Amino acid sequence: MAAAPLDTLRSKLFEESDGNKFSRLLGRLLKKHGQTERLAVLAILADYARDGQLLHWRTLLLTDMVKLTQPGEYADFYLWSLGQPRLAYWGVDGLLKSTGKAAYGALLELAGNQDMTLETRAKAVKRLAVFSRQPFDAGRPEDPGQWKAPDIDLPALLAWKTMGYPNGAGHAEPLRHRLLDTPETPLEHALAALDHKLAALRAREQDLAQPSNWLTIASPEHVLAIDQRWTLPEHYRRFLACASPLRVQITTEDFPQGLHLVGASELIKAQHGYAWNPVTQLSIADWPAQYLVIANAGGDPLCLDLGQMHSHDAPVLCAMHGTGRWDFEPYCASFVAFIAGLSEKTD
The answer to whether 82 and 106 have CB atoms below 8 angstroms apart is yes
Helix axes 154-162, 118-132, angle to 10 degrees: 40
- Which CATH architecture does the domain made up of 178-345 adopt? 3-Layer(aba) Sandwich (3.40)
The answer to whether 179 and 144 have CB atoms below 8 angstroms apart is no
Report the candidate in 149, 144, 93 with the shortest Cα–Cα distance to residue 119: 144
- Tell me the one-letter amino acid at 141: P
In whole angstroms, give the CA distance from residue 295 to residue 259.
7
Report the candidate in 314, 155, 302 with the shortest Cα–Cα distance to residue 237: 314
Report the candidate in 77, 19, 18, 16 with the shortest Cα–Cα distance to residue 45: 77
Bridge pairing between strands 316-318 and 282-283 = unpaired
Q: What is the pLDDT of residue 284?
A: 92
The answer to whether 48 and 61 have CB atoms below 8 angstroms apart is yes
In whole angstroms, give the CA distance from residue 37 to residue 27.
14
Q: What is the pLDDT of residue 2?
A: 43
pLDDT tens per residue, range 10-41: 999 999 999 999 999 999 999 999 999 999 99
In percent, how much of the chain has pLDDT > 70? 98
Cβ burial 265-303 (10 Å sphere, 16+ → b, else e): bbbeebbebbbbeeeeeeeeeebeeebbbbbbbeeebbb
Q: Where are the domains of the chain?
A: 5-162, 178-345
pLDDT tens per residue, range 75-107: 999 999 999 999 999 999 999 999 999 999 999
